[in-house]
Amino acid sequence: MTDGGESDEALIGRYARGDAAAFELLYRRHEMRIWRYLERNVGNRATADELMQEVWFAVARDAVRYEPTARFTTWLFTIARNRMIDSNRMSRRQVSLEAVGYEAESVVAQLTTEPGVGPLAAVVARDQATALTRAIGQLAREQRDAFLLQIEGDLSIEEVATITRSSFETTKSRLRYARNRLRELLSEYA
Amino acid sequence: MSRMPPTPEQPDDVDDQYRRASALDPSRPGEAVSRTVLAYAAQLAAERAAAYAGNKLKSRRTASHAWWRPAILGTLAAAGLAGLLIAPQFLAPRAPPVAEPAPTAQAVDSTASESAPPQSAQTPEVTARPPVPVRSANLPTRATHARPKANGATAALPAQPTSVAPPAGSEAAGTGAFVAGAPARELRVPGSPSAVTSIAAAARIGTNPSAALRRAAEVGNLAALEALLEKQTDVDSRDGAGRTALMLATLHGQADAVTALLTHGADPNAADADGTTPLQAATAGDHQTIVAALRRYGAR
């Protein structure tokens, strides 16, 4: 991912040699993707914040060991996923997205109070946000993880399979089921 | 099955819906998270930048020094030997300089005796051997015989300064502080009429004063450095890698030595065999004080 600028791999290389500005570019480029991946998987903003910090600490710390044999985003999302799994193991409990309401209401409340968003647009946004968050929360964990990895990390099936340590066919099936289920759920909310 | 399952690699309406909704989602990581992460990353970056600059300079030195390593090792060994012998003298209070003696047979004899170990006070005096140093002023030595009278006129004496015997009964005479031909370390006793200078000591042990100057600059021995500079030692002499004393002092971060050398007219732009100037070396080593000093003296 370059955004027309320097590649992620070049930036992490520069940072490994002591260029702090390169890190900030990387962070700004990927922060929302990582944030959404974490938040929509764990369903809790505080936990997502904590994980977000740990993920980027690990990136900063291990930048010198990064070897551009894989894309930077693959490496980044692997770190994020591993941190998330570690966190789940530590807490010994899997947060139920349904149980915590997936914070959908707060998201909707923010959307409707955003300046510049008109009443109709706010309704549309609220509906979309509600539908999306609820739908994602209802996906099976493996399907949700695979779908978020692919769509937020802009990863190929092979890369998702590598990160999740699954076979290509298994990953492909998870992604297919995830999309089918989302389509069904979204059509219900529509 | 009413519909074919979508292929994940193809654009999908679900993906589009997801992206549209995500774009409208205002939730973001906490501001404190971003601040903490970026501060931590900046701290690591600063440490890495310093380490990277240090490694770069080190590897450059290593690469450029390979061909002359044997020469510099030999020079350093000689300089180190000289340093071991003469450095203690600079730690003692400085004595007034003594005029260099004319080469006489006596001086040669006396110089030869420098390498002989001190012996007991009962050593027989009149022999064909070179004079041996004694610790007691009560026994006459060959050095005392060589001089009309030990009356303090040391500057006129042709022999080694260490040959100067204190007058019998003087304070030094009874303390054992005066030792003719004894190693330099013996002259550090307070009250000793030490007149050994670095250049004389260096000459006695056959050390190149220029090498001694570079060594003194490298280790930051200001006393040795100033003594050698006062003796008109070539301040811009170079070692096998073309490095001057100024360059060596710079590479080792010896700011005081750099200032002393510049004050004595060292060339601030004297590059080494690789073309590296002292200013470049100081900048690479992040020696800001040295950078400032070099610039004051016209370094480019």
DSSP structure string for B28-88: ---HHHHHHHHHHHHHHHHHHHHHHHHHHHHHHHHHHHGGGHHHHHHHHHHHHHHHHHHHH
Q: Which residues of A touch B10 (CB under 8 A)?
A: none
pTM of the full predicted structure?
A: 0.46
A131, A140, A176, A184, B220 from A187: Cα distances, Å: 9, 18, 17, 5, 81
* B204-296: in CATH 1.25.40.20: yes
Domain positions in chain B: 96-195, 204-296
Q: How far is A49 from chain B (nearest CA, A)?
A: 6
Nearest to A49 among B5, B25, B33 (CB): B33
Asked if pLDDT for residue B256 goes beyond 50, the answer is yes
Instruction: Find the residue in A nearest to B42 (Cα).
Output: A20
Q: What average pLDDT does this structure show over B280-294?
A: 85
Among A80-89, A102-111, A160-169, B15-24, name the one with the lowest average pLDDT. Answer: A102-111
Contact in structure between B111 and B160 (CB atoms under 8 Å): yes
Contact in structure between A30 and A12 (CB atoms under 8 Å): no
Largest CA distance in chain A: 52
The closest alpha carbon to B261, from B233, B300, B292, belongs to B233
B72, B240, B274 from B75: Cα distances, Å: 5, 9, 19
Q: Is A148 on the interface with B (CB under 8 A)?
A: no
Largest CA distance in chain B: 128
User: pLDDT tens across A86-139, in order?
Assistant: 888 776 544 444 444 444 444 444 444 444 445 556 566 666 776 777 788 889
Q: Walk me through the domains of chain A, giving residue ranges and CATH numbers.
A: 1-97 (1.10.1740.10)
Q: Which parts of chain B fold into alpha helices (H)?
A: 13-24, 31-65, 69-91, 105-113, 142-146, 198-204, 209-219, 222-230, 245-251, 255-263, 278-284, 288-296
DSSP state of B184: G
Query: How far is B209 from B226, CA to CA, in rounded Å?
Result: 12
Task: Name the phi and psi angles at B63, rounded to 5.
Answer: -65, -40
A35, A102, A110, A136 from A83: Cα distances, Å: 13, 20, 28, 20
Asked if pLDDT for residue B137 goes beyond 70, the answer is no
A47, A61, A93, B3, B288 from B220: Cα distances, Å: 56, 38, 63, 83, 17
Q: How far is A92 from chain B (nearest CA, A)?
A: 24
Nearest to B18 among A17, A45, A151 (CB): A151
Helices A141-153 + A72-91 axis angle, to 10? 150
The closest alpha carbon to B179, from B143, B128, B127, B125, belongs to B143
Q: Identify the residue among A65, A105, A138, A183 best suited for mutation to test binding to B, counting B beta carbons within 10 A and taking the highest.
A: A183
User: pLDDT tens across B49-87, in order?
Assistant: 887 777 766 666 666 556 667 777 888 888 888 888 877
Chain-chain contact of A20 with B6 (C-beta, under 8 angstroms): no
Q: Which residues of B touch A150 (CB under 8 A)?
A: 8
Torsion angle, CA of B110/B113/B119/B120, rounded to 10 degrees? -20
Q: What average pLDDT does this structure show over B223-251?
A: 85
